[in-house]
Amino acid sequence: MVLLVRAAGMLPVLLLLCLGFHFLSDGRFFSGQNLGIVLQQAAVNTVLAAGMTFVILTGGIDLSVGSILAASAMAGLAISTIPDLAAFWLLVSVLTGLGFGVINGALIALLRLPPFIVTLGSLTAVRGFARLLGTDTTIFNPSIPYAFIGNGSLTLIPGVVSIPWLSVIALLVILVSWLVLRRTVLGVHIYAVGGNESAARLAGIKVWAVLIFVYGVSGLLAGLGGAMQAARLYAANGLQLGQSYELDAITAVILGGTSFVGGIGSIWGTLVGALIIAVLSNGLILIGVSDIWQYVIKGLVIIGAVALDRYRLQGSART
């Protein structure tokens, strides 16, 4: 029973929010079209938050994902405008993200600098790169290849059920992350490093390699997020794209029950966390709450939800 509660985590909160918004909006929340919008809006944040989960599980943090997302989108779009190379833009986006992530990881793992400081630095530096890539303008490409991943849907039952490709990608990312975290040696080592770094080291785990890996994954997924945004918007602006996305990603991870100290948490929790954020945004708009109050309410719900979670965990630990 305790295990069930723990595994379910914030799922009840998500369901309550959905039901609440459904009634308050006179039944407009649970329409096929609206759910599609929610899923699509959750997609990019889910991808970023998945990467953030790897990082936070080791007890770290990655503040640079929003900037990396912007730089990757810019790099991809720039390539997509070169006729001979256009087809490679997706790959270039993702690899750009991976590159920045690995640099973060190397600084943290090899120079032993604090993750907060390193990624705070790259938050700024990589943002500069993103602007540089478009010579500080917006890059457009109305005929960007693979645009369907940003706007198309995967039809499951023709005319009845279809899922936005963005959401399909997000779901695949979650599945692969789960596989890595729960089913591979690397996954156990990530949890071990977060739980007790010196024990991990004594057990012969190459802690530096684990750290480079998690920041690499976070960068790679930020790159993928950049590609998703570029395909969706046919455009990117190095200054504006991805601003403060890192905060939404961190929020999703924390809402999902992953401990800031490291070593505890699950990727499914992160998915639920990302969905809560998307449902909140969507629901508050549906019921006509003003933009200003949306901020206030979102913030309070986040604090309240995490407080509730802590309270419940303490309760179950005592019994």
User: What x/- string results for residues 227 through 266 when contact with other proteins is judged by CB under 8 A?
Assistant: ------------------------------------xx--
Give the integer Cα–Cα distance in Å for 189 and 58: 9
How far apart are the C-alpha atoms of 265 and 59, rounded to whole Å?
A: 11
User: In the range 262-291, which residues lie near other proteins by CB under 8 A?
Assistant: 263-264
Task: For residue 40, give the nearest of 221, 231, 223 by alpha carbon.
Answer: 231
Which among 217, 279, 207, 259 is positioned nearest to 68, based on CA atoms?
Answer: 217
Q: Is 194 in the site for other proteins (CB under 8 A)?
A: yes
Q: How far is CA 96 from CA 63, 127, 254, 290, in A?
A: 17, 13, 27, 38
Residue 52 C-beta: closest distance to other proteins, Å: 18
* Options 61, 103, 166, 200; binder of other proteins; rule CB under 8 A: 200
- Alpha carbons 128 and 136: distance in angstroms, whole number: 9
Q: Taking CB under 8 A as the rule, does residue 185 contact other proteins?
A: yes
Site for other proteins in 140-179 (CB under 8 A): 179
DSSP designation for 289 = -
Residue type, 203: A
Q: Does 202 bind other proteins (CB under 8 A)?
A: yes
Whole-number minimum distance, CB 211 to other proteins, in Å?
16
Task: Among 79, 192, 276, 286, indicate the residue that binds other proteins (CB under 8 A).
Answer: 192
Q: How far apart are CA 82 and CA 27, in angstroms?
A: 47
Phi and psi at residue 111, to the nearest 5°: -90, -5
Place of tokens 């976070």: 218
123/200 with CB nearer other proteins = 200
* 1 scored as a contact of other proteins (CB under 8 A): no
Applying CB under 8 A, among 199, 303, 307, 308 the residue interacting with other proteins is 199
**Residue 160 corresponds to which tokens in the numbers above?**
């009845």
Nearer CB in complex with other proteins: 6/22: 6
Q: Does 55 engage in binding with other proteins (CB under 8 A)? A: no
Nearest-approach distance from CB 165 to other proteins, in angstroms? 25
Tokens of 29: 């929340």
Exactly one of 7, 203, 300, 308 binds other proteins (CB under 8 A); which one? 203
Q: Which two tokens stand for residue 248?
A: 């939404």
Q: Using CB under 8 A, list all residues that contact other proteins.
A: 179, 183-185, 187-188, 191-192, 194-196, 198-205, 263-264
